[in-house]
Structure 1
Amino acid sequence: MKLAVIGGGSTYTPELVDGFARLRDQLPIDELWLVDPDPVRRELVGGVAKRMFAHAGHPGTIHVTDDVVAGVTDADAVMFQLRIGGQAARHQDETWPHEACCIGQETTGPGGFAKALRTVPVVLEYAALVKRYAKPDAWIVDFTNPVGIVTRALLEAGHRAVGLCNVAIGFQRRFAKEFDVAPSAVRLDHVGLNHLTWERGVHVRSADGSERDVLDDLLAAETGALDRMAESVHMPADLLRLQHAVPSYYLRYFYAHDVVLEEQLHERTRAEAVMDTERALLAKYADESVVTKPAELEQRGGAYYSEAAIDVLSSILGDRGDVQVLNVRNDGTFPFLPDDHVIEVPARVTRAAITPLPVAPLDADMVGLVSHVAGYERLALDAAVHGGRDRVLRAMWAHPLVGQVDKAEKLTDLLLAANAEHLPWTRSEQLTWAG
């Protein structure tokens, strides 16, 4: 089996390699190709990855290259984990929106929109090479944010693709710990869009195979679990009780926008913290005595990323037909959205297709927010594919965290100024205006 990772120089990669080494029987890899344009990261991340495989006694071979074609040729599956512009661009995404009194965040709001504009054209370029050179039935597994928009771009272009996020698997582990069971004994009613999701059911399987929804237990104030869940997502316990659901942390940007903005104005950005962590990690990766995943990697984010990735790859390549939470085409699952929109729900995974399972109707407040964000996402993808200031402005205005024309105008100008290096069409538009 050949697996390629586009963006293999990411400091995330040893998390993946650790999972591949530990779970080799579940996902038997003969060749792992790490593809990245950065020569320093290729050397450091590729070096520690090879040492990790050797230390674990993994029989597979790791190749490191900047040649995308060589990396994806005859691959059984290709993972995308790109960050166009690196952490420097992320730092911008987390700061310039503040000039218009809006949150700065790398996956949602104006900053997330900027990331989509930078990312979608590059992902589509690489996906075309996958279609041309990888095995005919190869799948693309996308971990590149914003996952919902990027996955829809891939599907609209005709690629065999699925989006992967670690939010659901993180909740699964958290609930398993709360009820002292194995993570595999927990099944979630996880619904929404990527980074806009709720857990509306938490089903725990007993030793006899029976299941019980323990959400009521989680939301019962007298058990203490409600306060623990609320603290973990940084939202009031009353909100969880009123919704009778556990929202993902990312909903805080919508439910407590002004509080988050005030926090951001007085704290260093997440990008700055990650840059510090990455410097420490790269120093560790350069140390030839390091043959296992460094502890500092836990500070990098992406908890349980390797387990989630291995689960979906094993299910696809092994044609297992099991159920996982993934980003897939709607296809009627949410009747209020178009079939071609990408949603994040439990889905059945086979080599031939990944199919969303039916879900109970969403409550009115969830329908409203999901519909609003989905409308923005469709306009954002149009802007990412076709360019043009008017498309950017319209998508910016449509985002529920913006919603005002004057604010959208200012944010559009800030976005284009900060991202001109990564958006070639902005230069052609400037020439047109000058003429």
Structure 2
Amino acid sequence: MKLAVLGGGGVRSPFLAKYIANKAEKLKIDSVIFMDDNSDKIRIYGGIAKKAASIINPKLKFEITTDVKETLKDADFIITSLRVGGDESRVTDERTALKYGIVGQETTGAGGFAMALRSINALIKYCSMAKEYSKPDVKIFNFTNPSGLVTQALRSLGFDNVYGICDGPYGFLKELASYLNINLDDISVECFGLNHLSWFRSIKIKGQEKINEIIEDDRIYEKTEMHLFEKKLVRSLNMIPNAYLYYYYYREKAVDNILKSQYTRGETIREINKNMYRELSTLNPEKDFEKMLGIFLKYYSQREKSYMNIESGSNKPHIEKEITWQDFFDMQGGEGYAGIALGFIDAIVNDSKKEMILSVPNNGMIEGLKDDDVVEITCSVDKNGANPVYIGEVPEIQMSLIRQVKLYERLAVEAIIEKNKEKAVQALMIHPLVNSYSIASNLIEEYLNEYIDFVGAWR
């Protein structure tokens, strides 16, 4: 079986390759190809990924390329992990929003819309090509941000083989498992909402409901990403919020912390990536692999440590220590989005029923939403695909926010597909992180002017 990765020159590629190589035999994958349209990035990060995979699994056929058709040809599974416009566009998204006192984070609100402008058209092209060149029953796992919005757009156009994946919900569950000294497989959850706008309403450990104990445990607010939230807020919700809800529940704090900081998140990542690229660009992955991996892990650790620090005003590192060479090859778990995609493949290929959190059509599982609304929800996955669990009625505090953001998503998808400026303004106007016609109008004009090469002229 063949697994294709679009965006294989991304910084996460060596880790993705590692997990694929480790599990390829079990998943019956004998051919892997990483593609990126940036020849330098695919040579460097794809090259590190290819060499790492060859060390872990010499039998695996692993290729890197800039050729899209060759990548998609006869693929059984496709993972998309694109950053259209690169780090510079991310910085522009953030700074443009901040001029108006708005959060510019890449998956929510104004920044998320700007990224969707670039991402959706690229994914429509690639999914159309997959329909022509890949296997008829190919499955596409979309990690390209804003993942939920992009998946909604693709599903609305009839690409029913696309599933949104995100490692956000698993970040907390991994930290929880580590804190409780249990296996991640011992945890079963009910998660509902939208991508980066979801809640856990049930957390069972070895079959026993524990969510109330978890909410009341003071150390949870020290040892996990729950340090972003006050205990009294979580008590009032009676649910565990996704970390990205920080931008909604603490909106003014997030903006103030970013403005007080010397750098935005995008600028921080851009600087780390520039320094990493400068050190790696003169080296050869075949001849200098050990040195290149060491450089890569040094800077990758910096990226991970800085996660959510600027926005929250926190000095708490996301990871405690730098990832070493030995860690890279030895550490188990922590697969992130790779683990989700590979877990889905395992369920299909080996009919091993799994519980997973995915972005899929609602199909009546959350009352008050349309059947074709893409939601982030716990699913039961087997050889027949993903079946979301029934959530039913949702408390109004959560539901009002879901409805508002889902309306934004529907309008945003229509605006981008139709190139309709009026709908784009309406979409941002009703988003709770913008909530202003005048600001929405200015943002849309600036983003459309900035990204005309990606989206063309709008009416």
Structure 1 length as normaliser, TM-score? 0.91
How far apart, in 2, do the equivalents of 1:307 and 1:36 lie?
Answer: 21
Partner in structure 1 of residue 189 of structure 2: 188
Report deviation, 1:225.
3.0
Equivalent in 198, 211, 215 of residue 215 of structure 1 = 211
Contact between 1:277 and 1:299, CA under 8 Å: does it hold in 2? yes
How far apart, in 2, do the equivalents of 1:13 and 1:27 lie?
Answer: 19
Report deviation, 1:230.
7.6
Partner in structure 2 of residue 289 of structure 1: 288
Partner in structure 2 of residue 136 of structure 1: 136
Listed one character per residue, the Cα deviations across residues 397-425 of structure 1 (whole Å, up to 9, x for unaligned) are: 12111222222222222222332232212
Q: What are the residue-to-residue correspondences of 1:13-412 with 2, within 5 Å? A: 13-159=13-159, 160-205=161-206, 211-220=207-216, 223-228=217-222, 232-267=226-261, 268-282=263-277, 283-284=279-280, 286=283, 288-290=287-289, 294-301=297-304, 304-412=336-444
Contact between 2:194 and 2:402, CA under 8 Å: does it hold in 1? yes
Question: Could you tell which deviates more after superposition, 269-278 or 108-117?
Answer: 269-278
Q: 1:12 to 1:231 in 2, by over 3 A?
A: closer
How far apart, in 1, do the equivalents of 2:221 and 2:172 lie?
Answer: 15
Contact between 2:414 and 2:420, CA under 8 Å: does it hold in 1? no
Secondary structure in structure 2 of the residue aligned to 1:323: strand
Listed one character per residue, the Cα deviations across residues 312-370 of structure 1 (whole Å, up to 9, x for unaligned) are: 22223333332211000000011211100100111122343322111253211000000
- Size of the aligned set, in residue pairs, is 420
How far apart, in 2, do the equivalents of 1:120 and 1:43 lie?
Answer: 26
Question: Could you tell which deviates more after superposition, 9-18 or 224-233?
Answer: 224-233
Q: 1:231 to 1:328 in 2, by over 3 A?
A: closer
How far apart, in 2, do the equivalents of 1:19 and 1:124 lie?
Answer: 27
Structure 1 unaligned spans of 5+: 206-210, 430-435
Question: Could you tell which deviates more after superposition, 57-66 or 382-391?
Answer: 57-66
How far apart, in 1, do the equivalents of 2:92 and 2:46 lie?
Answer: 28
Listed one character per residue, the Cα deviations across residues 36-73 of structure 1 (whole Å, up to 9, x for unaligned) are: 11111121122212211222133111111211111011
Question: Could you tell which deviates more after superposition, 193-202 or 291-300?
Answer: 291-300
Secondary structure in structure 2 of the residue aligned to 1:358: coil
How far apart, in 1, do the equivalents of 2:19 and 2:163 lie?
Answer: 20
Q: 1:30 to 1:280 in 2, by over 3 A?
A: farther
Listed one character per residue, the Cα deviations across residues 221-250 of structure 1 (whole Å, up to 9, x for unaligned) are: xx4234326863512111011111111111
Listed one character per residue, the Cα deviations across residues 111-132 of structure 1 (whole Å, up to 9, x for unaligned) are: 1011111111110110011111
Kindly provide the amino acid, as one letter, of the partner of residue 143 in structure 1.
F
Q: Percent identity?
A: 28
Secondary structure in structure 2 of the residue aligned to 1:100: coil
How far apart, in 2, do the equivalents of 1:198 and 1:233 lie?
Answer: 16
CA RMSD of superposed structures (Å): 2.0
Kindly provide the amino acid, as one letter, of the partner of residue 211 in structure 2.
L
Report deviation, 1:281.
4.2
How far apart, in 2, do the equivalents of 1:251 and 1:15 lie?
Answer: 27
Kindly provide the amino acid, as one letter, of the partner of residue 93 in structure 1.
D
How far apart, in 2, do the equivalents of 1:200 and 1:225 lie?
Answer: 20
Secondary structure in structure 2 of the residue aligned to 1:403: coil
How far apart, in 2, do the equivalents of 1:83 and 1:188 lie?
Answer: 30
Q: 1:404 to 1:46 in 2, by over 3 A?
A: closer
Q: 1:96 to 1:185 in 2, by over 3 A?
A: same
Kindly provide the amino acid, as one letter, of the partner of residue 90 in structure 2.
R
Contact between 1:108 and 1:146, CA under 8 Å: does it hold in 2? yes
Report deviation, 1:20.
1.4
Contact between 1:15 and 1:305, CA under 8 Å: does it hold in 2? no
Partner in structure 1 of residue 319 of structure 2: none
Q: 1:425 to 1:323 in 2, by over 3 A?
A: same
Secondary structure in structure 2 of the residue aligned to 1:5: strand
How far apart, in 2, do the equivalents of 1:369 and 1:57 lie?
Answer: 46
Q: 1:300 to 1:318 in 2, by over 3 A?
A: farther
Partner in structure 1 of residue 325 of structure 2: none
Question: Could you tell which deviates more after superposition, 409-418 or 381-390?
Answer: 409-418
How far apart, in 2, do the equivalents of 1:186 and 1:290 lie?
Answer: 37
Kindly provide the amino acid, as one letter, of the partner of residue 274 in structure 2.
R
How far apart, in 1, do the equivalents of 2:298 and 2:22 lie?
Answer: 16
Report deviation, 1:151.
0.9
How far apart, in 1, do the equivalents of 2:447 and 2:49 lie?
Answer: 36
How far apart, in 2, do the equivalents of 1:131 and 1:352 lie?
Answer: 20
Structure 2 unaligned spans of 5+: 308-333
